[in-house]
Amino acid sequence: MTTLIVGNGSDIDKSHIENLNIDYVICADGGLEKVKRLGLIPNLILGDFDSVNKSVLEDYKSLNIETVTFPSEKDYTDMELAISHAVKVGFKDIILVGASGTRLDHTVANMLLIEKYHKKDINIRIIDNNNFIQIITDSMIIPFRKNYYVSLIPLSENIEGLTLEGFKYPLNNINVERGSTLCISNEVSEDVGLIKLNKGSAFVFISKD
* Contact (Cβ atoms closer than 8 angstroms) between residue 96 and residue 127: yes
Q: Which domain holds residue 31?
A: 2-129
Are residue 23 and residue 116 in the same domain, yes or no? yes
* Contact (Cβ atoms closer than 8 angstroms) between residue 44 and residue 65: yes
Are residue 105 and residue 156 in the same domain, yes or no? no
Q: Provide the whole-model pTM.
A: 0.91
Statement: residue 59 has pLDDT above 80:
no
Query: Three-state DSSP class for 56?
Result: helix
Are residue 100 and residue 171 in the same domain, yes or no? no
CATH code of the domain containing 189: 2.60.120.320
CATH code of the domain containing 105: 3.40.50.10240
Indicate the number of domains in the chain. Answer: 2
Alpha carbon 46 to its chain's center: 18
Are residue 159 and residue 198 in the same domain, yes or no? yes
At 183, phi and psi to the nearest 5? -105, 30
Domain closes at, from 108, 129, 150: 129
Which of 44-53, 86-95, 151-160 bottoms out in mean pLDDT, i.e. has the lowest? 44-53
What pLDDT does residue 61 have? 75
* Contact (Cβ atoms closer than 8 angstroms) between residue 57 and residue 45: yes
pLDDT (tens digit per residue) in 153-185: 999 999 999 999 999 999 999 999 999 999 999
Residues ≥6 apart with Cβ < 8 Å to 207: 130, 131, 132, 148, 149, 150, 151
Statement: residue 75 has pLDDT above 90:
no
Sign of CA dihedral 114, 109, 183, 142: positive
